[in-house]
Structure 1
Amino acid sequence: MTAHRSTLRRTAAAAAAAAAALVLAACGASDNGSAGSDGGASQSPAASASASQGEHNAADVAFAQGMIPHHRQAIEMADLAPSRAQSAEVKKLAEEIKKAQDPEIKTLTSWLESWGEEVPAEGAMDHSAHGMDGMMTPEQMEELEKASGKAFDTAFLEMMIEHHEGAVAMAKTEQADGAYPPAKDMAEDIITSQSAEIAQMNKLLGKN
């Protein structure tokens, strides 16, 4: 009888230990989101990305894969300004756009690689990319390349406003549908910085 009770006690203890392990595992899984969010501020980008792996969804992938060619085109446009723009303010704005968006391309690329997702190929401006919010057509890019002086300034500002508006729309979609905290943070930064640049460009055009 004593041996029987001892066996029962051991069985109950084993069951309790297994249940506790399951609870701990569940807590760990549910805490990942907050850990990834908090870690983004204190850890290095690489450590944060590694710690937060798996916490992304299809919207995060679409955001990264869409924003890379979008940013690349903005940089391509900005690269034309030093030799073609007349306005010093346009040249300075183009430089700031490059400075902000080039590091973001690198970050977006590292996320896709860590997720095992395809990174858009360099220079692969396919038809689907041109259908994206705010993307310039090949004809518009050709028009910008041929312009100079004040005509370039006007074309650059008008096209970049449209381009930025597209990026802001994409970032708002990420904020609404995404799950990966660092991507949502980047989306917030894009909305803030590019909305401010849109206001600045409208002012340069005399629209406000």
Structure 2
Amino acid sequence: MRQATARTLLVVVLLVAGCGAGSRDAARTATPPATAPPATAAPTPPGTAGSFNPTDIAWLQLTAAMAERLLPVLDLVPARTTDPAWRATAARVAATQRADLDRAHRLLAEAGAPTTNPHEGHDMPGMVTAEQLAALRGASGAPLHRLLAGHLRAHLTQSVRIAASEQQNGVQPATVALAAAVARNATANLARLNKLPPPPHPPPA
């Protein structure tokens, strides 16, 4: 009974990290150090289907849900801006998000977890809402860059935060390794985002 209670508390820790703070708070969180090593695809250690704990499952589901929300945003960029730096940044982040999403789905299948997204329809920290996506679809140039910078910063910062929870509390080797890769790649992408020239602010009305 005590062991089950402890596992439940670990899931609560992860979900509080994912759901308890607002997107604005996530965007204000200090950016992880820009001195992180270059983003690389870390090898995935073998795992066994029986070695997942509730924290592993909760983190995989949340990570998949966050990636599924961000990818439509990144897919807009080539058609909405001609800026090569923003196009390259969006393409790089999209590549890591698709790789993370694929690995999360494979691990959830290995764990025998439900294939449905338990966070469908939930607007949580780091996730772009339907209204925000509509605003992005109507923006281009500098206005798009401003919106994109805010959403990317919130998403990447939140990804580092919840990956830390999985690294501390998860037990499945491949899942913990994925969390380490997610944190490393998100930190590197935040550093690249910080190097982009800030878009000009609109003139006062």
| TM, length-normalised to structure 2 | 0.70
* 2:46 aligned residue: 48
The one-letter amino acid of 2:130's match is P
* 1:61 aligned residue: 57
> Does structure 2 conserve the Cα–Cα contact (< 8 Å) formed by 1:68 and 1:120?
no
Please report how far the alpha carbon of residue 171 of structure 1 lies from its aligned counterpart in structure 2 after TM superposition.
0.6
What is the correspondence of 1:147-166 to structure 2 with a 5 Å cutoff?
A: 147-166=139-158
Structure possessing the higher relative contact order (Cα contacts under 8 Å, 6 or more residues apart): 2
Give percent identity, aligned residues only.
23
* 2:138 aligned residue: 146
Please report how far the alpha carbon of residue 173 of structure 1 lies from its aligned counterpart in structure 2 after TM superposition.
0.9
Report Cα offsets for 1:88-118 as digits up to 9, x if no partner: 1111111111211212212211111121111
How far apart, in 1, do the equivalents of 2:74 and 2:121 lie? Answer: 20
How far apart, in 2, do the equivalents of 1:165 and 1:191 lie? Answer: 9
- Structure with max Cα Rg: 1
SS of 1:175 mapped into structure 2: helix
Which segments of structure 1 move beyond 2 Å, counting only runs of 4 or more? 119-122
SS of 1:48 mapped into structure 2: coil
Report Cα offsets for 1:146-165 as digits up to 9, x if no partner: 11112111211121111111
Please state if 1:204 is matched with 2:196.
yes
Q: Of residues 120, 123, 127 in structure 2, which corresponds to 1:125?
A: 120
Q: Of residues 178, 183, 195 in structure 2, which corresponds to 1:186?
A: 178
Listed as ranges, the gaps of 5+ residues in structure 1 are 1-39
Report Cα offsets for 1:7-26 as digits up to 9, x if no partner: xxxxxxxxxxxxxxxxxxxx
How many pairs align?
158
Further displaced range: 168-177 or 196-205: 196-205
Q: Of residues 107, 111, 118 in structure 2, which corresponds to 1:111?
A: 107
Please state if 1:75 is matched with 2:75.
no
Q: What root-mean-square deviation, in Å, do the aligned CA atoms of Structure 1 and Structure 2 show? A: 2.3
Question: Whose helix proportion is higher, 1 or 2?
Answer: 1
Please report how far the alpha carbon of residue 121 of structure 1 lies from its aligned counterpart in structure 2 after TM superposition.
4.5
Listed as ranges, the gaps of 5+ residues in structure 2 are 1-41, 200-205
| TM, length-normalised to structure 1 | 0.69
